Amino acid sequence: MSIGVNCSHCFPRHRPNSPTLVSSSSSLSSIIVCNMDTSAGPSLFPLHRCKTLHLVRHAQGIHNVDGDKNYKAYMSPEYFDAHITPLGWQQVDNLRKHVHECGLAKRIDLVITSPLLRTLQTAVGVFGGDGYTDRMDVVPLMVANAGNSGRAAISSLNCPPIVAVELCREHLGVHPCDKRRNISDYQFLFPAVDFSLIESDEDTCWKADVRETTEEVAARGQKFLNWLWTRKEKEIAIVTHSGFLFHTLSALGNDCHPLVKKEICKHFANCELRSMVIVDRSMIGFDPSTTNYPGKIPSGLDLPSDVVDEKAD
């Protein structure tokens, strides 16, 4: 049996083509893709056919503490929609400091998060505004002590929008830690997070007795990457899960050098961030260039000399 991939209530419609993903440390004017044949020349893509993705695995959750020692612990109902640990919040604080010190916080146009408690906590903790007070004339991203965090409320001022998307959830089914609570519960805990793309209040995707196959997770990841081209934002942070990242990225980078392939798809640590560039090679997106310039001032033919010579012949 399969779930998730065919769950129309959970996931938005998608386009069939597959993007290309390559490693990057920043937005680049031209994107270089390595081939298995290292003697081949580089590949070049138009900048407006690319998006920069900053992929983040959630901070340490209470399920990770026991689950890393004994995989069967992930079956425990005690870890339903697991929240992050005190150590996890330290990881959040460290990553938040990093994204501000390196300037990344100012460049991100949008934050996409899986709608589970641990990813929501990580997303607002890393990319949210500074401290919140009741005197502020805005709703907070997170209320105080959300998910037994013991943390102060987090402001929604001076930060990118944060949108919850079902497609980037963890491996669906069987494990209680990967089952979400009702969206109405999250809306109370995270008032300024946008949950409008999630159609069902209840979790209709997770099944107690059926788990997605790894192939289904990878296919869902491709749907998610294709869906990103429906967004106008060019630099996007994505807060998601280890299994989802591993199976999605493992299907990519096959045209790269083995070391680049390994860099792309190796397992993420808790609260690890990696920056990638996604390339639209199939005309999935519609974004025009904001930097290209047509020339021809005054208007008229302005052909290079070699083209003129060819026409003369």
- Please state whether beta strands 273-279 and 20-23 pair in parallel, antiparallel, or not at all (unpaired): antiparallel
The H or E element spanning position 55 is strand 50-57
User: What pLDDT is attached to residue 224?
Assistant: 96
Please confirm, yes or no, whether 58 is among the known catalytic residues.
yes
Say which of 166, 170, 216, 233 is annotated catalytic.
170
Amino acid found at 116: L
Query: Which tops the pLDDT comparison, 124 or 16?
Result: 124
Q: What is the residue extent of each domain of the chain?
A: 20-312
Q: Calculate the average pLDDT of the chain.
A: 84
Nearest in space to 245 (alpha carbons), one of 280, 227, 271? 271
Token representation of residue 283: 């005309």
The pLDDT-based confidence of 14 (bands split at 50, 70, 90) is: very low
Average pLDDT in the 203-221 region? Answer: 95
Say which of 54, 58, 171, 175 is annotated catalytic.
58
User: What pLDDT is attached to residue 21?
Assistant: 60
Q: Specify whether the CB–CB gap between 199 and 73 falls below 8 A.
A: no
User: What pLDDT is attached to residue 80?
Assistant: 95
User: What pLDDT is attached to residue 195?
Assistant: 98
Query: Which tops the pLDDT comparison, 150 or 14?
Result: 150
DSSP state string for 207-260: -SS----HHHHHHHHHHHHHHGGGS--SEEEEEE-HHHHHHHHHTS-TTS-HHH
Q: What is the 3-state secondary structure (H, E, C) of 109-145?
A: CEEEECCCHHHHHHHHHHHCCCECCCCCCCCCCECCC
Give me the CATH code for the 20-312 domain, please: 3.40.50.1240
User: What pLDDT is attached to residue 146?
Assistant: 93
The pLDDT-based confidence of 25 (bands split at 50, 70, 90) is: very low
The pLDDT-based confidence of 194 (bands split at 50, 70, 90) is: very high
Please confirm, yes or no, whether 170 is among the known catalytic residues.
yes
pLDDT in tens, 67-109: 888 888 888 889 999 999 999 999 999 999 999 999 999 999 9
User: What pLDDT is attached to residue 313?
Assistant: 59
pLDDT in tens, 225-280: 999 998 999 999 999 999 999 999 998 888 888 888 888 989 999 999 999 999 88
Rg of the chain over CA atoms, in angstroms? 22
User: What pLDDT is attached to residue 160?
Assistant: 96
Token representation of residue 278: 């996604």
**Distance in angstroms (rounded) separating the CA atoms of residues 79 and 68:** 13
User: What pLDDT is attached to residue 164?
Assistant: 98
Query: Has residue 52 got a pLDDT over 90?
Result: yes
* 263: three-class secondary structure by DSSP: helix
Eight-state DSSP code of residue 29: S
pLDDT in tens, 135-184: 667 889 999 999 889 999 999 999 999 999 999 999 999 999 999 999 99
User: What is the spatial order of strands in the sheet that 50-57 belongs to?
Assistant: 20-23, 273-279, 50-57, 235-240, 110-113, 162-164
The pTM (predicted TM-score) of the whole model is 0.83
Nearest in space to 134 (alpha carbons), one of 160, 153, 161? 153
Name, in order, each residue with C-beta under 8 angstroms of 213's C-beta and a sequence gap of 6 or more.
Answer: 2
In the chain, what is the straight-line distance between the N-terminal and C-terminal CA atoms, in Å? 66
